[in-house]
Amino acid sequence: MVLTRILTDFIRLFYPNLCMVCHSDLTKGESTICTSCLYHIPRTKYWLDSENPVAKIFWGRAFVQNACSFFFFAKGSRYRKLLHQLKYNGKKEVGFTLGKEFGNELKMIESYKNIDLIVPVPLHLKRFKQRGYNQAEEIAKGLQVSMGIPLSTINLVRYNYTETQTRKTRTQRVENVSKAFRLETPNDFKGKHILIVDDIVTTGATLEECATTVLEVEGTKVSIATLAYTSL
Ligand SMILES: [Zn+2]
């Protein structure tokens, strides 16, 4: 296994234009993942069902209009490594390619047509500096292209740890322990339907916090889309 991986990485060094899933040569017009692998990606099709398992995660926690994921992040699946490449191996193009494909599905669905803005879950500043990009933002850029909906990346921000800890008194610290996000200019979201985007959903805790923060603004609606879904 390790040897195969080393060999694959070595080959890619000289022939970088290979499909990230099946390692076959990419043809003109294809990037990152070949047409066949994109076609066969294990789609959840949750966008066709408003009471799907991802939507159910948020029941009783945040009032969400729609929630779905693009594909199953299953053990043993050859698609599993895509997320790893996106998050830990600097392959941000995976996010864009799959986000675009995901958007092609969502744009066909009536309940996703009235979305005003796409908002990626912000990354910790420290993590952003390490990685050089926010993987959720790369997915959101793909969605933006195929859905034709604008992107907002500067309004919803994440408190960084030191900021939260130093600016508050001890009591505030205890009270705000779960408050990880804020809006820089809440009025910009007023009355808007926001699609919050992340790479994967498991417990939904982070997405719930983002949704709650957005929903504090008058007249907002929230929908959620993640690239991958894994049941615990
Ligand atoms: Zn392929």
Quick: pLDDT tens for 98-111: 999 999 999 999 99
- CA angle (104, 110, 115) in 5-degree steps: 75
Q: How many angstroms is it from 173 CA to the middle of ligand 1?
A: 49
Cα 99 from chain centroid? 8
CATH 3.40.50 fits 41-229, yes or no: yes
pLDDT number for residue 196: 98
Ion ligand 1: residues, CB < 5 A: 19, 21-22, 34, 37
Quick: pLDDT tens for 171-187: 555 554 468 999 999 99
Residue 17: CB atoms within 10 Å: 12
pLDDT band of residue 1 (cuts 50, 70, 90) is low
Q: How many angstroms is it from 130 CA to the middle of ligand 1?
A: 29
Which of 53, 52, 68, 49 is CA-nearest to residue 223? Answer: 68
pLDDT number for residue 179: 80
Residue 117 pLDDT more than 80?
yes
Per cent of the chain over pLDDT 70 is: 87
Ranges for all domains in the chain classified under CATH 3.40.50:
41-229
